[in-house]
């Protein structure tokens, strides 16, 4: 079955529920604007702004070169997600179902659960950080009442955390359509406020702003390895920032009406969007030099220096919206589908999302007092690095092994002779390819010498995963499986 508009004639309940099933094109409502807002929400967080602003002052590189490196990173990520997004547009399936073609109908749970663990952890952490924005708002209105603390949080902090957690639960419980509406509203809203902040600082700084921008565009040097190494480091850093969404991008592209609209959304949302957002960060940072005498890259520090209640309220709302937006994109939708893929007959998108939220509640609540001090973040980052080979495996399988042809019917079949059953539902060659490439991925996190690769370790891990998979799938048995999976083409 290659026509995504056809319904499944039969399916195994152990692999199927309505949320994992192919979405017919007649029921898809997303266009380029929705995809643009996926990326807008992904970059428009407190961390995203701080990262963009710091790139201009950390590496001692000419500002034009920094912009070029940022745009190049956007182009690279656009290329990567066009590859992973195309099959989900064609067949209407999410990431864990797509992974069945290469890893087996049961083996797909391995990469899906690794992705879920990473996402659930950061969902809890980001929920806490979103609550700090709401706490900023409440404290500005209530006059910072303070009080006793429980697990490192006072009464206002706890109230803010519970409200943010509940707000996110309400959105996802209403379904993916409400998530889409929130992202479509949040993206433009954050842009509007950031433009307003840029204009305010520009007016306040006056004629001194342009010379300050010029200073940021003057190369300062000093980065170990020289300007070429600095350029590559900036590009790699930005690629690594988006890596979490790259592998499961099909969770979003399956809702898009056409491949063309997906590509337009990726173009506007990645190289164009990242360039514009970075320019705003550049101007605002230059404005802080003029007004406060130092380069401030953290938006909360800027708001505190301005010390205007109306601006504080607007900024707090903006930070809240931006952080919830990235949480929905990078950390909620992926585990909701991944958990649903684990036991489809019992877990749907809603229940998967609820499990995500409940576990994340305890992670966020314990972040200040316990988890942030245990070094767990390093372990979770290692799991994130391990996901890189799966990207290469999935892309290699679809484009080089399966030749862009899938039998969707058999993605939901556990028959022993089904195309994606392999050995008891697991593709052992895929596991071997993953294991070999994962050695490098883990080393890039734990071996200091390899950490100098900055963000390129993810790309290298993905390349190695694809390379090993392609080599292992060239044998006679693999060729027979390929012929079955592609209908003999």
Same domain, 91 and 197: yes
Residues 367 and 401 grouped into a single domain:
no
% of residues, the chain, pLDDT over 90 = 32
Are residue 318 and residue 390 in the same domain, yes or no? no
Could you tell me if 323 and 190 lie in one domain? Answer: yes
Give the 3-state secondary structure of residue 426. Answer: strand
Domain boundary (322, 349, 374) is at 374
Of the candidates 405, 422, 401, 399, the residue with the CA atom closest to the CA atom of residue 470: 401
For the chain, the average pLDDT equals 84
Angle at 189 between CA 183 and CA 190, to 5 degrees: 90
394 is a domain residue: yes
> Considering the domain boundaries, does residue 10 fall inside one?
no
Last residue of a domain, one of 343, 374, 405: 374
With a CB cutoff of 8 Å and minimum separation 6, the contacts of 291 are 201, 204, 205, 305
Residue 1 has pLDDT above 50, yes or no: no
Task: Answer yes or no: is 54 within a domain.
Answer: yes
pLDDT beyond 90 at 394: yes
Residue 108 pLDDT exceeds 80: yes
In this prediction, residue 376 has a pLDDT band, given cuts at 50, 70 and 90, of low
Backbone angles phi, psi at 405, to 5 degrees: -130, 125
Q: Do 364 and 470 reside in the same domain of the chain?
A: no
- CATH number for 53: 1.10.4160.10
Model pLDDT, residue 105: 93
Q: Are the C-beta atoms of 42 and 242 separated by less than 8 Å?
A: yes
> Closest Cα partner for 114 from 371, 354, 441, 408?
441
Are both 243 and 381 inside the same structural domain? no
Structural domain harbouring 438: 375-489
- Check residue 39 and give its pLDDT: 92
Domain match, 299 and 447 both: no
pLDDT digits (tens, 9 = 90+) for 219-264: 565 666 677 878 888 888 888 888 888 999 999 999 999 999 999 9
Rg (alpha carbons) of the chain, rounded to whole number: 23
- Reduced 3-state DSSP string for 9-71: CCCCCCCCCCCCCCCCHHHCCECHHHHHHHHHHHHCCHHHHHHHHHHHHHCCCCHHHHHHHHH
Q: What are 295-310's pLDDT values in tens digits?
A: 777 776 777 676 667 7
Q: CA torsion, points 424, 103, 444, 271, in degrees to nearest 10?
A: -160
Measured distance CA(126)–CA(57) in Å, rounded: 26
What whole-number distance in Å separates Cα of residue 282 and Cα of residue 300? 16
469-482 burial string, b = 16+ CB within 10 Å, else e? bbebbeeeebeebb
Residue bearing the bigger pLDDT, 360 or 8: 360
For residues 201 and 291, is the Cβ–Cβ distance under 8 A? yes
Return the minimum-mean-pLDDT range out of 116-125, 371-380, 414-423: 371-380
Same domain, 456 and 381: yes
Please check whether residue 259 lies inside any domain of the structure. yes
Residue 309 falls inside a structural domain: yes
4 domain residue, yes or no: no
Of 101-115, 211-225, 236-250, 359-373, the one with minimum mean pLDDT is 211-225
Q: How far apart, in whole angstroms, are the C-alpha atoms of residue 160 and residue 154?
A: 10
Say yes or no: 351 and 438 in one domain. no
- Asked if the model's pLDDT at residue 488 lies above 80, the reply is no
> So what's the pLDDT on residue 191?
83
Q: Are 9 and 241 in contact (CB under 8 A)?
A: no
Residue 40 lies inside a defined structural domain of this protein: yes
CA distance 170 to 178: 9
- The number of folded domains in the chain is 2
Instruction: Answer whether residue 359 is part of any domain.
Output: yes
Q: Model's pTM, two decimal places?
A: 0.87
Label residue 392 by pLDDT band (50, 70, 90).
very high
Identify the residue whose tokens are 């205007």: 308
Beta bridge partners of 30: 256
The Cα 279–Cα 274 span in angstroms is 8
Q: 36-70 pLDDT, tens per residue?
A: 999 988 887 777 777 888 887 777 777 788 889 99
**DSSP state, residue 30:** B
Of 374, 398, 430, the residue at which a domain comes to its end is 374
What integer pLDDT is reported at residue 489 of this predicted model?
46
Do residues 288 and 397 both lie within one domain?
A: no
Whether residue 360 is found in the same domain as residue 391 = no
Asked if 344 and 477 sit in the same domain, the reply is: no
Q: Which of 38, 64, 101, 80 is nearest to 404 (CA)?
A: 101
Sign of CA dihedral 366, 367, 371, 376: positive
Quick one: pLDDT at residue 7?
62
| DSSP conformation class of 248 | T
> Which is more confidently placed, 287 or 466?
466
């Amino acid at each position: 079955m290659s026509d995504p508009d056809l319904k499944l004639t039969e399916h195994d309940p152990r692999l199927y529920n309505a949320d994992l099933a192919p979405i017919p094109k007649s029921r898809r409502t997303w266009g380029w604007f929705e995809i643009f807002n996926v990326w807008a929400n992904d970059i428009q967080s407190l961390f995203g702004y701080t990262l963009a602003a710091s790139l201009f002052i950390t590496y001692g590189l000419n500002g034009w070169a920094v912009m070029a490196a940022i745009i190049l990173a956007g182009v690279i990520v656009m290329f990567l997600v066009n590859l992973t997004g195309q099959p989900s547009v064609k067949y209407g399936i999410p990431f864990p179902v797509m992974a069945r073609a290469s890893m087996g109908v049961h083996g797909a749970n391995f990469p899906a659960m690794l992705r879920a663990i990473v996402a659930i952890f950061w969902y809890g952490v980001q929920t806490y950080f979103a609550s700090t924005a709401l706490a900023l708002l409440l404290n500005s209105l209530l006059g910072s009442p303070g009080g006793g603390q429980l697990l490192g949080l006072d009464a206002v902090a706890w109230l803010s955390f519970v409200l943010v957690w509940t707000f996110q639960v309400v959105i996802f419980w209403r379904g993916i359509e409400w998530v889409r509406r929130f992202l479509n509203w949040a993206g433009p809203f954050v842009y509007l406020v950031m433009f307003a902040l840029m204009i305010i600082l520009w007016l306040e700084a006056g004629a001194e702003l342009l010379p300050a921008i010029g200073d940021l565009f003057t190369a300062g040097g000093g980065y170990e390895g020289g300007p070429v190494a600095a350029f590559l480091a900036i590009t790699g850093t930005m690629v690594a920032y988006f890596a979490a969404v790259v592998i499961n991008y099909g969770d979003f592209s399956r809702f898009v009406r056409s491949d063309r609209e997906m590509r337009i959304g990726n173009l506007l949302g990645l190289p164009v969007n990242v360039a514009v957002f970075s320019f705003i960060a550049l101007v605002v940072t230059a404005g802080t030099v003029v007004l406060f005498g130092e380069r401030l890259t953290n938006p909360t520090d800027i708001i505190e220096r301005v010390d205007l209640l109306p601006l504080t309220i607007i900024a707090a709302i903006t930070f809240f919206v931006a952080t919830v937006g990235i949480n929905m994109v990078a950390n909620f939708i992926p585990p909701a589908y991944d958990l649903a893929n684990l036991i489809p007959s019992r877990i749907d998108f809603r229940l998967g999302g609820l499990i995500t939220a409940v576990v994340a509640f305890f992670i966020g609540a314990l972040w200040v007092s316990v988890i942030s001090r245990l070094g767990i973040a390093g372990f979770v980052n290692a799991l994130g690095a391990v996901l890189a080979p799966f990207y290469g495996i999935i892309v290699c399988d679809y484009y080089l092994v399966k030749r862009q042809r899938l039998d969707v019917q058999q993605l939901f079949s556990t028959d022993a002779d089904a195309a994606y059953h392999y050995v008891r539902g697991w593709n052992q060659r895929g596991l071997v390819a993953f294991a070999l490439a994962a050695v490098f991925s883990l080393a890039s996190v734990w071996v200091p010498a390899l950490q100098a690769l900055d963000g390129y370790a993810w790309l290298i891990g993905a390349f190695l995963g694809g390379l090993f998979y392609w080599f292992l799938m060239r044998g006679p048995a693999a060729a027979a499986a390929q012929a079955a999976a592609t209908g003999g083409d």
